[in-house]
Amino acid sequence: MAQINITFPDKSVKQFDAGITPQAIAVSISRSLAEKCVAAEINGKTVDLNYPIRQDASVKLLTTDTPEGMQVFWHSSTHVMAQAVKRLWPKAKLEDGPPTEAGFFYDILFPEPISQDDFPKIEAEMANIVKEKFTTSRKELSQNEAIAYFKSIGEDFKIPIIENVPAGDTISTYTQGEFTDLCRGPHIPNVGMVKAFKIMSVAGAFYKGDENNIQLQRLRAISFPNKKQLDEYLHMLEEAKKRDHRKLGQELELFYLSPKVGGGLPLWLPNGTTLRETLVDFLRDEQKKQGYLPVVTPHIGNIELYKTSGHYPYYKDSQFAPITMGDGEQFLLKPMNCPHHIQIYASKPRSYRDLPIRLAEFGTVYRYEQSGELNGLTRVRGFTVDDSHLFVRPDQVKEEMCRVISLIQYVFKTLGFKDFRTRLSFRDDSNEKYGGEIALWEIAQKDIQEAADEMKLDYFVGIGEAAFYGPKIDFMIKDVLGRTWQLGTVQLDYVLPERFKIEYTGADGQKHRPIMIHRAPFGSLERFIGILIEQYAGNFPVWLAPVQAILLPISDQHTAYAQETKEKLILAGVRAEIDMRNEKIGYKIREAELKKIPYILVIGDKELQGKSVSVRRHGKGDLGSQATGEFLDKISNEITNKVIE
């Protein structure tokens, strides 16, 4: 039998018989690996474990220990839940059921609405299905065959999905026991792998997200390969409630979402503004050291600007409606800063000696998110991006990419985000959304991968995750609760410079096209702060805390010394306040603790006489008496060195 070469992620190569499956490859490596495998990536495409490999290929085995593997696991769990629903409510109609970042859901039209009281019987039926250990099987159909089948079983919501499948694309179903569903796959080989699960909620969901359509019910759930993981996840949810940035944002007076201003448009209160400006100043200082030039651009622009860039057609469904002036000219709330920065680059002739040019702006952009998708600071309609655009020569691409990656790594380290991976977001050649020539995309993707390799990034490839103008490196942060967030990004762009026809004069005297690097370590400042609040549960390190020290005079006779001490702290760059209310000292201390102020300085007779302060550290208690100068040196050191405990 013919032999084929299988290349693994560590670049090792082994030979196997042509037609071998990923499952057989896993078994050949170890039985324990095979038991944890749920699917495989063959040349970047995710497939079932029984997929026959007939030619040389790159293979990555996906287990439940990987994010990609858990997506397959949750996708398969969706079918287990749907099968249970159909057994209990045969007349229920299934719409769509995808995996999410944490679990899965299915939108279903029930004969009559269900409630939380129905969860136990659904879970019991899911347990029965898991015990039956059905194997999953894939079947490919023509469009007519698929429509006929789903009409025959009364699953009306599947018909429009099938009709919208582009010509030439594969239509497939997956079957487990008596249950068959429309699905691209892949799936776990056996439903018996879904050993622990819990239905989390049920809520209304309009068909296709349109409030003019019929309302379905969205059944959300979570599943894991074992009960311990489920228990840990449920514990994490309880912890997450305590850390909810919306709750803490209100308690710590950081931001306010006013219904009179509008959903998704946060108002920053003084404490939140201080936190926000501290982050901005931190990054701005680093950018200055690296030669970035500050710019400011308007919040709106002529719609033709965004049509040229491609942002208007690409983001059309999530943009605010154009503003039409009396003369017919149309303006748009800007969805991105890059077209504006391109105009700044094009404002005068450029030479190869001028490059790289690094423009930086904390620019506010706007997206019209559906009201049901808004979520505190993490999903808003107006948000500020720490946006920078670098205009470089081809010979500068790799060096500048590495400098950007290094900056993002420094930002994450300083803010205490240690656990992160990177995704190389590449184009999907079967999708027509991408602009520019494929040859340039191939160069850009090669450049990005080489930069990632040189910086020794722990990365995986995400096919189809690229921006419409170029591939990117997305930094995927895991927070203290184990949740994954996509934060910083760096993107390589050959497309927009071509669309706007920007140029520089080369050493040869000829006109050349610069290459753009888009870069944002924070991403959305609003989203980043929302995540930061939850990461620290509001207990910010001293350098970030809106109020870093609060002085608590025990009585009026201690107020003058407290005021004198406050002035010394402020002159040293410490954000300090005094609580002069006529309250008992114990009450003041409890209030300061609830506000999560890092240092509480109590001042009484002893402190007044000794020119000292009695220091309490939030969460640690009494640290004893310290000379004022000694304390000032300590807190100044924490702020200057951005200490994270």
Average pLDDT over residues 235-245: 88
Indicate the SS3 state at residue 353.
Answer: coil
Average pLDDT of the residues in 209-223: 92
Does residue 188 have a pLDDT over 90? Answer: yes
Residues 6+ apart with CB under 8 A from 351: 504, 505
Tokens at residue 409, please? Answer: 């790594």
Q: Are 445 and 471 in contact (CB under 8 A)?
A: yes
Q: Count the Cβ atoms, other than its own, within 10 Å of residue 358.
A: 20
pLDDT at 619 over 90: no
* Whether pLDDT at 421 is above 90: no
Question: Tell me, what's the pLDDT at 337?
Answer: 93
Strand partners, 577: 550
The pLDDT score that the predictor gives to residue 494 is 92
Residue 469's pLDDT is what?
87
**Cβ-contact 576, 566 below 8 angstroms:** yes
Which of 644, 589, 645 shows the shortest CA–CA distance to 621? 589
Nearest to 332 by CA among 291, 367, 282: 367
Q: Quickly state the pLDDT bin for 609 (edges 50, 70, 90).
A: very high
The pLDDT assigned to 246 comes to 93
User: What's the pLDDT score for residue 375?
Assistant: 87
- Quote the CA–CA distance of 177 and 164 in Å, as a whole number: 28
Please report, as a single letter, which amino acid is at residue 250.
Q
Per residue in 330-365, pLDDT (tens digit) is 999 998 999 999 999 999 999 999 999 999 999 999
CATH superfamily, with its number, for domain 3-63: Beta-grasp domain (3.10.20.30)
CATH topology for 68-238 is: Threonyl-tRNA Synthetase; Chain A, domain 2 (3.30.980)
Tokens of 418: 């240690």
Report which of residues 612 and 10 the model is more confident about. 612
Mean pLDDT in residue range 173-181: 96
pLDDT bin (cut points 50, 70, 90) of residue 108 is very high
What kind of fold does domain 255-535 have according to CATH? BirA Bifunctional Protein; domain 2 (3.30.930)
What gap in Å lies between CA 127 and CA 139, rounded to an integer? 25
Q: Which stretches within 537-623 are classed as H helix? A: 559-571, 585-594, 605-610
Residue 236, pLDDT above cutoff 90: no
Model confidence pLDDT, tens digit, residues 120-158: 999 999 999 999 999 999 999 999 999 999 999 999 999
Q: pLDDT tens-digit profile of 443-462?
A: 999 999 999 999 999 888 88
CATH architecture of 549-640: 3-Layer(aba) Sandwich (3.40)
Cis bond upstream, residue 186 (ω within 30): yes
Cβ atoms of 313 and 335 within 8 Å: the answer is: no
Look up tokens 């994954």; give the residue. Answer: 484
Domain range annotation of the chain: 3-63, 68-238, 255-535, 549-640
Nearest by Cα to 376 from 473, 474, 250: 250
Listed range (12-16, 374-378, 403-407) with the worst mean pLDDT = 374-378
Return the pLDDT at 241: 87
- Rounded CA gap, 125 and 81, in Å? 8
Label residue 49 by pLDDT band (50, 70, 90).
very high
Cis peptide leading into 356, omega within 30 of 0? Answer: yes
- Per-residue pLDDT for 645 more than 80? no
Residue 293 pLDDT: 96
Q: Please, are residues 309 and 339 in contact by the beta-carbon 8 Å criterion?
A: yes
386 closest CA partner among 232, 569, 526, 234: 526
pLDDT at position 546: 97
Write the secondary structure of 243-272 as one string of H (helix), E (strand) and C (coil): HCHHHHHHHCCCEECCCCCCCCCCEECHHH
